[in-house]
Structure 1
Amino acid sequence: MDRAEQQRLRQAAWLMVGNGLRLGLSGAYFILLARLLGPEAFGVFSAILACSNLAAPFGYLGQSELLIQRLSRQGSPTCTQGIGPSLWLAGLGCGGMALVLWPLLSVWLAGTPAAVVGVLLLSDLLFIAVPEVYRGILIGREQAAGVALIDTGMALGRLGAVLLAVALGWGSLVQWAVLYGLMVLVVLLLIARGMGRWSEPSLPLALSWRDLRERLTAGWDFAVGLAAVKTFTDLDKLLLPRLASAAAGGLYSAAYRVINFSQTPMIALLTSHFAELCRQGQKGLPQGWRYACHLSPWVVGYGSLAALGLALGSYGIPWVLGSAYRETALILRWLSPVILLEGIHLLLSHLLTGAGLQKPRSRLQLMALGLNGLLNAVWIPRWGWQGAALATLLSEMALVLALLLLIRGQLRSLQRAGPRAP
C-alpha cells in the first residue's frame, strides 16, 4: 500500500469517526425531540425536513461536487478561487427554493402556521446547503478531518437546541421553529468563521456570465444526480404516511435509519477517494475505471457483509426499539441489500463524474428517480411498506445496471476510436 493510499484510508477513518459521532448525536436528538413535540407536531416537522432534503440539491445546485471536481484537478490544497460564488449561488438557490415550496408545503400541511413552515423550510435548506459547499471545499483539498468536524458540529448544534428547548419547557412547534432557526444561524456562522471565509472577496457581480453559465450547467447535472440519491432514500418516507398509514411510515423509517447507520463506513471510504477518482477520471475513463475496480472489492465486500449482518441482526430490533417495532425487523431484512446496491451506485456515479460524464449519468439517475416514484405511487396503496421496499430495490438494481451499461458503451467507443494522434 503506497503512501497516498494510506493517506486516503486515514481520511476515510476520519470521516467514519465524524459520521459515527454525528449519527449517535442525531439519534439522541431525534428521540428527545419526538418526546418533546409529541407525535403530531413531530410528524409535521419530519415532513418539512423530508421536503427540504429532497429540494436541497436544486437549492445549492451541486456546487459541492463541482468544487470537489475543480479543486482536485487544480492540485493545490490551498486554492480557494471560485469558492465564494458557490456560496452565493447556494444561498440564493435555497432562498428561491424556499419561496417556491413555502406556499405549496403550507397547503400540504394545512393547519400549520405558514410562518412556522417558512422558517423551518428555509432554515433547513440553508443548514443542508451551506455546510455541503464547505464540505466540497475540504473534500477537494482532501482534508477529511475538517469534514468530520463540520458533521459533528452540526449534530451538536441540533442536540444543543433540543436540550435548550427541554430546559425551557418549549414544546410547541412554533417555539421549536424559533429555536431551530436561531441554532442554524449560530452554527453556520461558526462554520464560516472556522473556515476563514470572511476575508475572501466573493461579490456575485465579480462572477463572469461565462463562469456562471458553466457553474449552473454543471451544477444542474450534479443536482439531478444528488436528488436521485436522496429520492431513493426519502420519497417513500414522504409517501407512506399519506398513501398507507403513519404507522407504516414510522416502522419503515426506523428500518432505514439502521440502514443509514450501516452505510457510514462505505460512504466514508467513497468520500475520501472522490477527489482521486476525479483526478484519475480526468486522465480518461479507462484510467478511472481501473481505479474504480481497485476500490470495488472494498465496496462489494463491505456491502455484502453489512447486508448479511443486518439480516441476521434484525431479529434483535424489537429488543432494542421495543415490541411496537417488531415489524421493523422484517422491513430491515427486505431492505438490507440496499447497502450493497447503493455502494455500487455511488462508486459508479463518482467514476462518471470524475471522467466528465455527469450529464449522461444524471439522465440515467433521473430516469431511475421517475421509475422509483411511479412504482411507489402504484405499489404503496396496494402493499404498504412492502411496495415501498420493492420499488427501492428494483429502482436501485435498474440504476446500477444502466450505469454499468453506460460505462461499458463508453469504453467500447474509446477502443474503437483507438489512440489519438499526438
Structure 2
Amino acid sequence: MQPTSSRSKFIAGVAKLLGGNMAVVVVQALQFVLLARVLGVDQFGEIAAANALSAVLIPLSGLGMGNVMLMEVSRDHAAGRLWAGNALALTYLSGVLLVAGGTIAAFYIYKMGVSLWVVAGVLSVELLLSRTVTLAAQYFSALEDFRRSAMATLSVALARLGATAALFSGLVPRTSSVWVLISIVFSAFLAAAYVFKLIRHSGGLSVNIDSIAKRARMGVAFASGIGAKAVYTDADKIMLAHFASAGALGAYASAYRLTTMAFMPVRALLDASAARFFRAGEGGMGGAVALSLKLLRVSVPYGVFVGGSMYLFAPLVPHILGHSFATAPEVLRILCLLPFIQSVHYVLSDALTGAGLQGLRTKIQLLVVVAYIVAGYLAIPAYGWRGAAVVCISAESLLAVMIALAVCWEHRRDQLERDHNR
C-alpha cells in the first residue's frame, strides 16, 4: 500500500503544480501580450535585451546553492533551515555584485542603445527579488509541497502582470523605464513576503560557512550547467541587441517567448519530479533512466503537438501583439522545433543530474556553449535574426544528441558494473 499511496500523492502533487504552472502560462501570456502592445517592438526589444543579460547572469546568483538546497532538503526535510539560509545569503551576496557588474557590462555591450536604468532595474528584479521567490519555490518543491511551490511561481508572474497593467491603464507614462520601476516596487514586497514564509515554515534561517564550503563545488557545477544553458538560450538575444536593431530583437524575442511559454507544462512536470530524480538516482543510473523514460512518454508527444500548433498559427501573432511585430511569424516557424528538441534533452539531462552526474552534464553544456558562441558570431552579424534562429535550433539539437549519448553510455556502464559485482 505504501508505494501506491506515495505514487497517488505524487500524481496529486504534480496535478497541483501543473495547474499552478498553467495559471502561470495564462498570466505570462496576458502580461506578454499587453506589454508588447503597450510598448511596441522597439521598447519591448529594450526590455528583451535587459532580460537576456539577466538570464545569462541568474545562474551565478547564489552560485548554485538553490539547487544544492533542493537536493539536500529533498533527502532530509530537517535540513531546510540550514540550506534555505545558505541559499538566501549567497544569493544576495553574489546578486548585488552581479547587478553592478552586469550594468557596467551592458554599457559596453549595448553601446548606449539600451537604457542603463532599464538594465540595472531588470537585473535587480531578476537576480535579487524574483530570485528570492524562486528559492522559496525550490524549497517547497523539495518538500513536495507543490501547492506552495506553484503559488510562489505564480506570484512572480502576477507581480509582472500588475506592473504591465499599470502601464496599460494609462495612469502612468507608457515607457520601459516606468515599467521597470513599478516592477521593482511589486517585486520587493513579494520578496519580503517569501522571506517571512521561509522563516516561519523552516523555523528560522541559519547560515553555516563550513556547510557552504563543503557543497561549494557541487553548487558551482549546478551553476555552471544552468549558466551554460542560459548562454545557449539567451546569448543570441544579446548578440542581436549588439549587431541588430531593437525592433529586430523585439520580434525575435517575442517569438522565442511564445515557445518558452508553450513549454511551461513540461517544465512544471520536471520541477515536480526534481526531488524524485535525486532519490531515484541515489541507486545509480538505472533508477534515473527508468523515471526519465516515463516522463518522455509525456514530454515528447506534447513537444510535437505544441510545435506543430505554433507553426500553423504563427500568422496570427501580429494580430495579437500589434503590427510592429510583423516579422515574428517567420521567426516562430523556425523556432517551433524547440519544444520537441527540449522535450528530449531536458528530461534526459535531469536523469544525469539525479544520478550524481551533474559534472558530466555541465561539460556537455559547456561544449555546446562554445559551438554556439562561435556559430553565433559568424551567423548573426551577417544574417540577423535568421542566423540567430538557425544557430539556436542547431545548438539545442546538438545538446539533445550529446545528452542522449551520455545517458546511454552511463546507463550501460552502470549495468556492467552491477553485473560484475554480482
Q: Which moved more, 1:379-388 or 1:136-145?
A: 379-388
Q: Which moved more, 1:249-258 or 1:113-122?
A: 113-122
Instruction: Note the C-alpha offset of 1:140.
Output: 0.9
CA gap 1:286/1:403 in 2 versus in 1, 3 angstroms: same
Structure 1, residues 211-236: CA drift from partner, whole Å, max 9, x if none?
22233211111112212332333222
Q: Spell out the pairing of 1:271-290 with structure 2 (5 A cutoff).
A: 271-290=271-290
* Distance in 1 of aligned mates of 2:215 and 2:74: 16
Instruction: Note the C-alpha offset of 1:392.
Output: 1.3
Determine if contact 1:57/1:224 at 8 Å carries over to the other structure.
Answer: yes
Aligned partner of 1:189 in structure 2 is 192
CA gap 1:324/1:42 in 2 versus in 1, 3 angstroms: closer
* Distance in 2 of aligned mates of 1:224 and 1:369: 11
Instruction: Note the C-alpha offset of 1:109.
Output: 5.1
* Distance in 2 of aligned mates of 1:117 and 1:293: 41
Aligned partner of 1:155 in structure 2 is 157
Instruction: Note the C-alpha offset of 1:340.
Output: 1.3
Q: Spell out the pairing of 1:56-205 with structure 2 (5 A cutoff).
A: 56-74=58-76, 76=77, 79-107=80-108, 108=110, 110=112, 117-164=119-166, 166=169, 168-171=171-174, 175-197=178-200, 200-204=203-207
Any gaps of 5 or more consecutive residues in structure 1? none
Determine if contact 1:22/1:151 at 8 Å carries over to the other structure.
Answer: yes
Instruction: Note the C-alpha offset of 1:24.
Output: 2.9
SS class of match (2:215): helix
Determine if contact 2:45/2:248 at 8 Å carries over to the other structure.
Answer: no
Determine if contact 1:307/1:337 at 8 Å carries over to the other structure.
Answer: yes
* Distance in 1 of aligned mates of 2:289 and 2:113: 52
Q: Which amino acid aligns with 1:371?
A: A
Determine if contact 1:84/1:200 at 8 Å carries over to the other structure.
Answer: no
Determine if contact 2:33/2:321 at 8 Å carries over to the other structure.
Answer: no
State the aligned residue count. 418
Give the one of 47, 50, 53 matched to 1:48: 50
Aligned partner of 2:9 in structure 1 is 7
Aligned partner of 2:293 in structure 1 is 293
Structure 1, residues 236-290: CA drift from partner, whole Å, max 9, x if none?
2222233233333222222212211211221111211121111111111112112
Identity of aligned residues (%): 26
CA gap 1:354/1:199 in 2 versus in 1, 3 angstroms: closer
Aligned partner of 2:215 in structure 1 is 215
* Distance in 2 of aligned mates of 1:191 and 1:331: 38
Determine if contact 1:106/1:117 at 8 Å carries over to the other structure.
Answer: no
Q: Which amino acid aligns with 2:398?
A: A
Structure 1, residues 77-117: CA drift from partner, whole Å, max 9, x if none?
89544221111111111112123222222344537775664
Determine if contact 1:303/1:340 at 8 Å carries over to the other structure.
Answer: yes
* Distance in 2 of aligned mates of 1:326 and 1:116: 25
* Distance in 2 of aligned mates of 1:25 and 1:218: 34
Q: Which amino acid aligns with 1:305?
A: F
Instruction: Note the C-alpha offset of 1:65.
Output: 2.0
Instruction: Note the C-alpha offset of 1:45.
Output: 3.4
Instruction: Note the C-alpha offset of 1:417.
Output: 3.1
* Distance in 1 of aligned mates of 2:229 and 2:64: 13
Q: Which amino acid aligns with 1:63?
A: M
Aligned partner of 2:305 in structure 1 is 305
Q: Which amino acid aligns with 1:389?
A: A
Q: Which amino acid aligns with 1:270?
A: L
Instruction: Note the C-alpha offset of 1:199.
Output: 7.6
Q: Spell out the pairing of 1:216-231 with structure 2 (5 A cutoff).
A: 216-231=216-231
* Distance in 1 of aligned mates of 2:190 and 2:330: 38
Report the TM-score, using the length of structure 1 for normalisation: 0.88
CA gap 1:393/1:39 in 2 versus in 1, 3 angstroms: closer
Q: Spell out the pairing of 1:221-370 with structure 2 (5 A cutoff).
A: 221-370=221-370
* Distance in 2 of aligned mates of 1:190 and 1:50: 27
